[in-house]
Amino acid sequence: MTMSVVIVGHIDHGKSTLIGRLLYDSEALPEGRLAEMQRLIEEYKKRFEFAYFLDSFEEEFKEERTIDTTRILFKGKNYFTVVDVPGHQEFIKNMLTGASHAQVAILVVSCVDGIQEQTRRHAFLVNMLGIKEIIVAINKLDMVDYDEPTFDRLRDDVSGLLASLGYGDNLFVPVSAMEGDNIYLRSQNTPWYTGPTLIEALDAIVPAEIVEKPLRFVAQDVYDIGAEKITAGRVESGVLRQGDELVFQPSGIRVRVESLRSFPDEIQEANAGDSIGIVVDGEIPRGNVGGHADSPPLASHSLLGEVVLLEGKLRQHDRFEIKCGARRVPCQVETIREEINSETGEVTATNPTEIGVNQAATIIFRTEPMVVERFADIPELGRFILARDGKNVGAGIVLETTQ
């Protein structure tokens, strides 16, 4: 099994050193790649900044979907890839476009400096991006003579921060990335610590995502090829097979899949991420989303989203267009529930009447019927872009939908 990990934390708290240590101790590095890895680790020092988060949306707005295939691999019982190298902007962009998804985050906190601004920001972002597992590495223990009370204090502080974001039961590992304590090797310097090493903690995580997700096929266009009508689209989640009966929303049309094409070949099944053509016994309107009758897509009229506003202001009752999957429909701000400081994750106002640029907020939107999913369930259809007058002004994820 391979899991993807993102390593976050305040600048200088030891992220790059930790990656170096993981690679070094795991001896997973292929021959001749050391120099390349060192370069990548340098790149990793670029901060995991909120600015990159914004950049990533700009890229997404241009519809540029570059996939960063550079991966660093280390291993315990399982294999781990470190996503987001080089450049953290890639990570956020890939998470939001669905190209990659980190299953676990390691939050590095220096025991010398404690919680800092980026510690908070990153924890907020990790939560917003739907990463359910966070392991906290309390680093630089060698600088405080492996002092247990220092570790305990920081564990309590960080625990409070994570609890405010809804995390509970996080593992805290006292480490020195520099010296290698409790990373792969159990340290003699921390006899007071009986928990797992960092690699043991990683190996113990069982990703929730292994469960097969329901099928969601987004119909993008219909082409007449010869005598056939072919609906081109993308399988966003689940598996689509020849012979499947599908229901499409919001139209409610039911069809049977007669054949599947991956041009020019005929195929039997298609998986998440595949762009294919299907021939069906009916006509599917563009932008409709199909699924199986036992877990069908549902058309929503309203959704609760967490939004980051990238331009202008957003006020109660404002009208926008919302873009999700292949659809763009009108929507209106019904209620702004909470204004959130996008750098700290703190709720700064309840029921404000407007929010400003670069602020985040939880908002209830009324929409024309469209298929969206909770980001936590099917992230591919759980992220959206807000547009006004043809211009993209914000982006967000779906927390809840209502039919």
By CB under 6 A, what part of segment 117-146 binds ligand GDP? Answer: 139-140, 142-143
With CB under 6 A as the contact rule, the residue among 4, 5, 15, 81 that binds ligand GDP is 15
- Shortest separation between residue 10's beta carbon and ligand GDP, angstroms: 7
- Cβ neighbours of 266 (radius 10 Å): 12
- Shortest separation between residue 205's beta carbon and ligand GDP, angstroms: 22
- Shortest separation between residue 86's beta carbon and ligand GDP, angstroms: 13
- Shortest separation between residue 95's beta carbon and ligand GDP, angstroms: 20
Residue 176 in the binding site for ligand GDP (CB under 6 A): yes
- Shortest separation between residue 53's beta carbon and ligand GDP, angstroms: 18
With CB under 6 A as the contact rule, the residue among 3, 5, 6, 13 that binds ligand GDP is 13
CB closer to ligand GDP out of 11 and 206: 11
Number of residues that bind ligand GDP (CB under 6 A): 16
- Shortest separation between residue 141's beta carbon and ligand GDP, angstroms: 7
CB closer to ligand GDP out of 116 and 348: 116
Nearest-5° angle of CA 386, CA 388, CA 392? 50
CB closer to ligand GDP out of 9 and 296: 9
Positions touching ligand GDP (CB under 6 A) are 9, 11-17, 45, 139-140, 142-143, 176-178
